[in-house]
Amino acid sequence: MNTSEQKLPPLNDEACKGLCAIVGKQAVLTDPGDCWPYGYDNSRRHALPQAVVFATRHEQVRDILLLCNRERINLIPRGTGTGTTGATVPDRGGVILSLERMNRILAIDPANRIARVEPGVTNAELQQAAGKRGFFWPPDPTSAAICTVGGNLAYNSAGPRAVKYGTPRDNTLGLRAVTGAGEEMRTGVITTKGVVGYDLTRLLIGSEGTLAVITEAVLKLTPLAEAKSTLLATYKDMHAAAQAVSSIMAQPTTPCTLEFMDGTAIEMVRNYSDLALPPEAGALLMIEVDGPAYGLDKAAEAVKTAASVEGLVDIHIARTKEETASLWRTRKALSPALRNVAPKKINEDIVVPVSRIPDLIEELDQLSGETGIKIVNFGHAGNGNIHVNLLADSDDPDEMRRAHQCLDALFDLVLRLGGTLSGEHGVGLEKRDFIDREIDPVALRLMNDIRKQFDPAGILNPGKSIPPPEAF
């Protein structure tokens, strides 16, 4: 665990009284024991916040930001803490603004295919409400049961369906927000077309709470597919599977999910899954095709044909709901298996062009051999979003030194292949000091200038996402 050792004074009485006046005394935590759980996220970083305040209305968020500006208090927005990059960890002290109680679904509007929600609504709650009306919101992160829509927007977190349906940026029409200066704003539209002004909606999505706090979102809904078909394909090695991915994505039927696991991942799930996999399987693809029931079998067969490249071991289409559930249990068994084998692993979610996945896998094999670090690869192959897991023990200094050497080389490799350092986990603290390898100095300067416009006092989630100007 990466835990901050800084000793910060408690908030002054005036600031505490001001926060209590805005949200009520019962919605402000100042005791260190009560605040402690809100200093974590899933990166295993931790820093104790000076206070935690729970907002339930847009106006409260505005007033909290105005107070923090007056008192020069850092403010860190937070959902449920499922992020993996330390973006909600108060490493520079300050107040955690918890948005988990802003959890109302304000409207599901089938006629216009939109939903209007507050940021504390969980992804699963939204899907359930939309599903009752025959719709869904495409982003579906692995943590959908507990992660919030606000967090999905803050990180632009997508999940498996992004290969066909896109990310939160592609499925959000407009936002209501409060800037770091405490100014209220609305962005975007409630229609599917609109080009008036700059696209501030897409700017705020993925900004990790460094520009503004989102208090409401207008989301674009998609009708539920009439039918789905699930396929499992196994290959002799990851190179064959990667070639199959390129073949699948080059034909007209776009899968709604296209997941892969490498041989090391397969070995890990054999003891956690009831699905018998061929012993010679060195990689697998989980493929799902959706659409109208009429013609779906033909679409699934087209994908099956495209997936049948040299190196294929076996491929079959699930014919029942039970068989489909069994197939997906294999994929879902991987995360607990990894936690059991390496609870302190380094997990990166890089992206490369689909055509470069074979090159990535080949060089990762070499990198693993050179550094002695075991690497497990799985993820969203349809858009090249690969979760690269470095299995290292943080209690072993030499192993961690080699793991960070491996990580450094991984990032250089990804950029050399034309990729990007983060697909959906964000930047936060974990990747902040690497992004100047991807983004040039002029772009970084402009980003810092934009940040100053939204947050002139620099109180909103400071130190996250992009390095400060003096760093480059």
> Residue 324: which CATH number?
3.30.70.2190
Alpha helices in 205-295 (DSSP H): 238-249, 263-269
Check whether residue 219 and residue 231 sit in a common domain.
no
With CA atoms as reference, report the closest residue to 231 among 198, 260, 203, 194: 260
Asked whether 97 and 75 are in contact (CB, 8 A), the reply is yes
Check whether residue 72 and residue 8 sit in a common domain.
yes
> Residue 425: which CATH number?
3.30.70.2740
Q: Residue 417: what are its φ and ψ, rounded to 5°?
A: -85, 5
Check whether residue 282 and residue 266 sit in a common domain.
yes
Asked whether 267 and 334 are in contact (CB, 8 A), the reply is no
- The answer to whether position 212 is within a domain reads yes
Which pLDDT does position 82 carry in this prediction? 94
Check whether residue 131 and residue 216 sit in a common domain.
yes
> CA angle, 183 as apex, 181 and 189 as ends, to 5°?
130
d(Cα 153, Cα 151) in Å, to the nearest integer?
5
d(Cα 14, Cα 67) in Å, to the nearest integer?
10
Domain final residue, candidates 335, 365, 396: 335
d(Cα 221, Cα 115) in Å, to the nearest integer?
7
- The answer to whether position 420 is within a domain reads yes
Neighbours of 449 (CB within 10 A): 10
d(Cα 337, Cα 92) in Å, to the nearest integer?
34
DSSP structural state of residue 200: H
- The answer to whether position 104 is within a domain reads no
Neighbours of 140 (CB within 10 A): 20
Neighbours of 360 (CB within 10 A): 25
Check whether residue 218 and residue 118 sit in a common domain.
yes
- The answer to whether position 193 is within a domain reads yes
Asked whether 233 and 259 are in contact (CB, 8 A), the reply is no
What's the token pair of residue 357?
Answer: 């996945």
- The answer to whether position 170 is within a domain reads yes
Asked whether 414 and 360 are in contact (CB, 8 A), the reply is yes
DSSP structural state of residue 275: -
Check whether residue 151 and residue 171 sit in a common domain.
yes
Sign of CA dihedral 35, 39, 42, 44: negative
Amino acid (one-letter) located at 244: A
DSSP structural state of residue 460: B
Burial 63-75 (b: 16+ CB within 10 A, else e): bbbbbbbeeebbb
With CA atoms as reference, report the closest residue to 448 among 471, 417, 425, 429: 471
Check whether residue 270 and residue 326 sit in a common domain.
yes
Domain final residue, candidates 335, 353, 376: 335
Check whether residue 298 and residue 275 sit in a common domain.
yes
Check whether residue 206 and residue 169 sit in a common domain.
yes
d(Cα 359, Cα 6) in Å, to the nearest integer?
43
Contacts of 82 (CB under 8 A, 6+ apart): 41, 42, 141, 143, 146, 147, 151
Check whether residue 213 and residue 129 sit in a common domain.
yes
Which pLDDT does position 460 carry in this prediction? 98
Check whether residue 44 and residue 6 sit in a common domain.
yes
Enclosing H/E stretch for 258: strand 257-262
- The answer to whether position 71 is within a domain reads yes
- The answer to whether position 438 is within a domain reads yes
DSSP string over 387-427 = EEEEE--TT-HHHHHHHHHHHHHHHHHHHHTT-BS-SSS--
Q: Residue 115: what are its φ and ψ, rounded to 5°?
A: -130, 145
With CA atoms as reference, report the closest residue to 245 among 352, 140, 358, 139: 358
> Residue 50: which CATH number?
3.30.43.10
Enclosing H/E stretch for 302: helix 296-307
Domain holding 286, by residue range, is 227-335
Indicate the pTM of the whole model: 0.93
Asked whether 359 and 365 are in contact (CB, 8 A), the reply is no
Amino acid (one-letter) located at 132: K
Domain final residue, candidates 223, 239, 262: 223
Check whether residue 125 and residue 215 sit in a common domain.
yes
Neighbours of 337 (CB within 10 A): 18
pLDDT in tens, the chain (472 residues): 455 445 567 788 999 999 999 999 999 999 999 999 999 998 889 999 999 999 999 999 999 999 999 999 999 999 999 999 999 999 999 999 999 999 999 999 999 999 999 999 999 999 999 999 999 999 999 899 999 999 999 999 999 999 999 999 999 999 999 999 999 999 999 998 899 999 999 999 999 999 999 999 999 999 999 999 999 999 999 889 989 999 999 999 999 999 999 888 888 877 666 667 888 999 999 999 999 999 999 999 999 999 999 999 999 898 888 888 877 777 777 766 676 666 677 888 999 999 898 899 889 999 999 999 999 898 899 999 999 999 988 888 999 999 999 999 999 999 999 999 999 999 999 999 999 999 999 999 999 999 999 999 999 999 999 988 766 5
- The answer to whether position 324 is within a domain reads yes
Neighbours of 379 (CB within 10 A): 25
Q: How far is CA 20 from the centre of its chain?
A: 33
Structural domains counted in the chain:
5
